[in-house]
Amino acid sequence: MKIGLRIFLGYFLIVALAAMLLARVFLAEVKPGVRQAMEDTLVDSANVLAELATDDFLAGRIDDGAFAGRIRALQRRDLGAEIWGFGKRAAQYRVYITDARGIVVFDSSGRDLGKDYSRWNDVYLTLRGRYGARSSPESPDAPNATVMHVAAPIRDVDGRIVGSLTVAKPNRAIEPFIARSQRVVLSWGLLLLGVALAVGVVAAWWLSRQLQGLQRYAGEVTAGERTLPPKSSGEFKALGEALETMRTRLEGKQYVEQYVHTLTHEMKSPLAAIRGSAELLEGAHEGGEGGTAPAMAEADRARFAASIRHQSERLAQMIDKLLALASVEHRQRLENPQPLALDVLIAEAADAARPGLERAGVSCRVMPGDVAPRVLGDAFLMRQALVNLIENAADFSARGGRVEIAVDVDGDGLRIDVRDRGAGIPGYALERVFERFYSLARPDGGSRSSGLGLSFVAEVAALHGGRAALRNRDGGGAVASLWLPVPPPS
């Protein structure tokens, strides 16, 4: 099923559910609401008529007095009313009065005079001082055609209930109004449904068109064709631009050429040193076997061999770090981060860096902390990043210096500081120290590093949701910082 059809069907389902909800609300609220309003009117009418009938009732002429005459005259009155487009010519009230025993003593319809109504709720409850009302079928043959009855008490001069007056009105009297409301709601509902479906069709078509354009673009890129992102708008335009940017970065020749150019440039120096030392050793060997060149002293021979070994190790280290950096750069997230105790990681990193520290004549001290902080991450990557920071600090420290490692709370995370008392970082290099292959000359005149260690640290920090920074230290030296977020409490 195509995405456009799925979007449309989902949208149609939402609209259909809304229409069903509207219908249910109408049936559950509108009809009962209209009938409640009619009942409220009947309550007022019954109490007004009960007051008007009291005198004739107490005087014993309720069936032939003035009140009865007026009620019977009401049946013959032409109302001539026009209510919201519906004509009303005759009153639909039925009024009957019972005595204290529930016997009908007056009936405007004249059909139930003398009958016992004491068991009907309207009479039964009213004679006992409670609110009396009922809704009963209009006739046994029409059980769905109901009549609403509301009663009011008739009291004597002492306030005692001596009878009841009931006003009855068939519910069919309000059916035209309910039916018209239903038609209006249905008409507007169908119109709304039609408009909603039209909007859904347009929206589904637009979304489908945007997605199909992006799909076509991705397919052409995969096939290696020259293509441009589709013309879009809003978030789809931003997505197309992001895909184009990603494509440029993945397959752009400029990026690849710069990477290769920088790598080969960095490899020229150690290769030249290796070649020069090898040529001198070869020349000395030929001279020692009868050639014209003088034999090389053993100390020089050892020095050139050490240079070859050192430069070879430098090349191997550069390649290893480059592979490690590439591995981190291509990872989008940590697959299985684990809780890590920073004090343990720092101790392990210090042990791993100890050979390099001893060669540089630099000591390492882990500053004590109040707590044992923990982070979520990859132990191997974190340990290697800390080793790189320690070795970098040792490279720029003077012999006899000391590298300090401290952990502090920084906002909603933890900051690991690796401090040294070396010469510090020149101002022009502060913004570039984390660039790939960028390195500075060592204070003792030693060869530059691969320029990949700090890049690796920055990538590891980003992979853990943190960041890396390097700044000069007050009083001389530098501070390399690795900030990591604190995991939420489990």
Kindly report the three-state secondary structure assignment for every residue of the chain: CCHHHHHHHHHHHHHHHHHHHHHHHHHHHHHHHHHHHHHHHHHHHHHHHHHHHHHHHHCCCCCCCHHHHHHHHHHHCCCCEEECCEEECCCCCEEEEEECCCEEEEECCCCCCCCECCCCHHHHHHHCCCCCEEEEEEECCEEEEEEEEEEEEEECCCCCEEEEEEEEEEHHHCHHHHHHHHHHHHHHHHHHHHHHHHHHHHHHHHHHHHHHHHHHHHHHHHCCCCCCCCCCCHHHHHHHHHHHHHHHHHHCHHHHHHHHHHHHHHHHHHHHHHHHHHHHHHHHHHHHCCCCCCCCCHHHHHHHHHHHHHHHHHHHHHHHHHHHHHHHHCCCCCCCCEEEEHHHHHHHHHHHHHHHHHHHCCEEEECCCCCCCEEEECHHHHHHHHHHHHHHHHHCCCCCCEEEEEEEEECCEEEEEEECCCCCCCHHHCCCCCCCCCCCCCCCCCCCCCCCHHHHHHHHHHHCCCEEEEEECCCCCEEEEEEEECCCCC
Low-confidence ranges of the chain (pLDDT < 50): 252, 255
Phi, psi of 129 (to 5 degrees): 80, 20
| Rounded CA separation 98/162 (Å) | 9
| Residue 28, pLDDT score | 63
| Rounded CA separation 14/268 (Å) | 67
Residue 398 tokens, joined: 């003077």
| Residue 47, pLDDT score | 94
**Dihedral sign, Cα of residue 322, residue 325, residue 329, residue 334:** positive
| Residue 97, pLDDT score | 95
CA nearest neighbour of 49 among 36, 64, 21, 68:
68
Which residues face 413 on adjacent strands?
410, 485
| Residue 4, pLDDT score | 63
| Rounded CA separation 303/376 (Å) | 47
Which residues face 376 on adjacent strands?
339
| Residue 247, pLDDT score | 66
With b meaning 16 or more CB within 10 Å and e meaning fewer, what string describes 338-351?
eebebbebbeebbe
pLDDT tens track for 326-370 = 555 555 567 778 888 888 888 888 888 888 888 888 899 888 866
CATH superfamily of 37-173: PAS domain (3.30.450.20)
**How many residues are recorded in the chain?**
490
| Rounded CA separation 71/49 (Å) | 10
Residue 27 tokens, joined: 């049936």
Task: Quickly name the fold that domain 252-330 has.
Answer: Helix Hairpins (1.10.287)
| Rounded CA separation 313/231 (Å) | 53
Which residues face 347 on adjacent strands?
none
Q: CA 163: distance to chain centroid? A: 67
- Quick one: CA torsion of 249, 252, 257, 258, rounded to 10 degrees? -30
| Every domain of the chain and the residues it spans | 37-173, 181-251, 252-330, 332-490
| Residue 324, pLDDT score | 57
Residue at 470: amino acid letter: L
Which residues face 478 on adjacent strands?
472
| Rounded CA separation 270/276 (Å) | 10
CA nearest neighbour of 124 among 151, 146, 94:
151
Residue 402 tokens, joined: 């000391």
Task: Quickly name the fold that domain 332-490 has.
Answer: Heat Shock Protein 90 (3.30.565)
| Rounded CA separation 326/313 (Å) | 20
- Residue in this structure with the two tokens 């069709």, named with its chain if needed: 201
Which residues face 402 on adjacent strands?
363
| Rounded CA separation 467/413 (Å) | 11
Residue 28 tokens, joined: 């559950």
| Rounded CA separation 367/415 (Å) | 13
Residue at 284: amino acid letter: A
